[in-house]
């Protein structure tokens, strides 16, 4: 059976207030109010944007969605888990300060920012899943315990999984540090002969996993957390990875963690993908003004997390006239893997029907 995916055309040029109203229009048109009940503890899952990044989906853009939840008299909180890599989202305190700096706060949104995975990212619940890769997944306590979830994802490329959208926002973005390790454990990186021993990768490695000798760098696999920062930073293309198999394992694990996140929340979740400022790297990169790899498309939303990603990916590839892998310059990653696996294990359906909402939202 096909799932409805609602789309409203939009671009960054609209401005934050109009984007907020467009998201709200989509919420109403899609009938998503039915997913949320009075007094629900409702997670509004966002990515608050790494320090220095300015292409993430900003707080004013989600204000309309938050207001809808408040009108429904739910108890919403805006939330995001801590990262494996060392940065300003590594623990709950630094993360909350960064979230506030980026406007994800009680003052700006009317709801609090709450870290769902505790002070250091280890507060989790083990959720049983009958996956191909995992038999149990480790989901942030505050996500596992909330009653409903409104997921706001920014569609981007991703150096390891190929695609960052709703499934990754759920699977990776709602997992505890343990859960993240489980997903990254599938990747092993290695240094090739093109290495000049320049040391840049070592400077950026958050886990002190890289040592240098006169000839090349070396990765200590026991320390490596699989963040792929070294691969992103090496300008000689010397950091290699067994993409063909390992990205597949990682993407399947992401889908299985997404399944764990949604367990017990059947019909109690809505998924929004902002398909604009589609950057090659995800919002974890603290790089300002990353260029878009495709024109802005709009906002898509569905009650089906698989359908919303399938639709967004099709829209991007149609607009670009080529596959996402080509846009990312890496044809060896098939970003559909996570979508296909999620459907296979029953998270949702790849079969969707696009419903265009053409209501005009006036510039405010
Ligand atoms: S892997 Fe790349 S960044 Fe690291 S030392 Fe070698 S050349 Fe430099
Ligand atoms: S992937 Fe690279 S940068 Fe990340 S922890 Fe491993 S060696 Fe360090």
Three-state SS sequence of 72-97:
CCCEEEEECCCCCCCCCCCCHHHHHH
Residue 364, pLDDT score: 41
- Regarding the beta carbon of 189 and ligand 2, being less than 6 Å apart is answered yes
Residue 234, pLDDT score: 85
Identify the helix (H) or strand (E) that includes residue 241.
Answer: strand 239-241
State how far the Cα of 268 lies from the Cα of 305, in Å rounded to an integer.
12
Closest-CA residue, ligand 1 atom 2, reads 234
Superfamily of domain 3-185+244-356: LarA, N-terminal domain (3.40.50.11440)
Residue 239, pLDDT score: 86
N-terminal to C-terminal alpha carbon distance within the chain: 39
For 28-132, strand residue ranges (E) read 41-45, 75-79, 124-128
State how far the Cα of 45 lies from the Cα of 18, in Å rounded to an integer.
21
253 pLDDT above the threshold of 50: yes
Cα 78 to ligand 1 centre (Å): 38
- CATH number of 189-241, picked from 3.40.30.10, 3.30.70.20, 3.40.50.620, 3.40.50.300: 3.30.70.20
362 pLDDT above the threshold of 70: no
Report yes or no: 130 and 217 within 8 Å, Cβ to Cβ: no
Ligand 2 atom nearest to 189, measured from its CA: 1
Task: Compare 189 and 11 and report the one with higher pLDDT.
Answer: 11
At 257-270, the pLDDT tens digits run 999 999 999 999 99
State how far the Cα of 61 lies from the Cα of 118, in Å rounded to an integer.
26
Token representation of residue 34: 């039915």
- Regarding the beta carbon of 209 and ligand 1, being less than 6 Å apart is answered no
Cα 234 to ligand 1 centre (Å): 5
Cα 71 to ligand 2 centre (Å): 44
Confidence of residue 84 (pLDDT cuts 50, 70, 90): confident
Q: Are strands 269-275 and 148-154 parallel, antiparallel or unpaired?
A: parallel
Residue 72, pLDDT score: 98
Test site for ligand 2: of 226, 232, 250, most ligand atoms within 8 A of the Cβ: 226
In whole angstroms, how far apart are CA 77 and each of 24, 114, 238, 278?
Answer: 17, 6, 42, 26
Q: Where are the domains of the chain?
A: 3-185+244-356, 189-241
At 331-350, the pLDDT tens digits run 778 999 999 999 999 999 99
């Amino acid at each position: 059976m096909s799932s409805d995916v609602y789309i409203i055309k939009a671009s960054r040029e609209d401005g934050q207030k109009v984007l907020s109203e467009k998201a709200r229009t989509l919420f109403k048109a899609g009938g998503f109010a039915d997913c949320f009940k009075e007094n629900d503890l409702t997670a509004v899952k966002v990515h608050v944007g790494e320090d220095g990044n300015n292409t993430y989906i900003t707080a004013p853009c989600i204000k309309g969605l938050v207001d809808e939840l408040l009108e429904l008299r739910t108890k919403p909180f805006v939330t995001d888990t801590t990262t494996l890599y060392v940065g300003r989202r590594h623990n709950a305190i630094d993360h909350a300060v960064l979230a506030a700096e980026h406007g994800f706060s009680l003052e700006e949104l009317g709801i609090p920012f709450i870290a769902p995975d505790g002070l250091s990212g280890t507060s989790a619940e083990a959720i049983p899943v009958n996956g191909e890769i995992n038999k149990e997944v480790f989901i942030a306590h505050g996500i596992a315990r909330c009653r409903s979830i409104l997921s706001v994802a920014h569609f981007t490329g991703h150096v390891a999984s190929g695609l960052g959208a709703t499934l990754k926002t759920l699977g990776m973005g709602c997992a505890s540090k343990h859960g993240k390790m489980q997903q990254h454990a599938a990747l092993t990186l290695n240094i090739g002969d093109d290495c000049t021993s320049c040391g840049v990768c070592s400077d950026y490695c958050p886990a002190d996993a890289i040592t240098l000798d006169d000839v090349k760098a070396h990765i200590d696999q026991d320390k490596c957390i699989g963040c792929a920062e070294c691969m992103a930073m090496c300008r000689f293309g010397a950091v290699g990875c067994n993409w063909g198999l390992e990205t597949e394992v990682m993407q399947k694990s992401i889908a299985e963690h997404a399944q764990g996140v949604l367990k017990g929340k059947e019909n109690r979740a809505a998924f929004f993908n902002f398909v604009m400022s589609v950057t090659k790297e995800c919002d974890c990169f603290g790089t300002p003004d990353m260029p878009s790899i495709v024109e802005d498309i709009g906002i898509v939303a569905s009650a089906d997390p698989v359908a919303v990603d399938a639709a967004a990916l099709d829209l991007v590839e149609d607009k670009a006239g080529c596959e996402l892998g080509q846009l990312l310059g890496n044809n060896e990653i098939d970003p559909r893997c996570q979508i296909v696996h999620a459907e296979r294990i029953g998270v949702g359906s790849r079969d969707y029907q696009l419903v265009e909402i053409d209501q005009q939202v006036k510039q405010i």
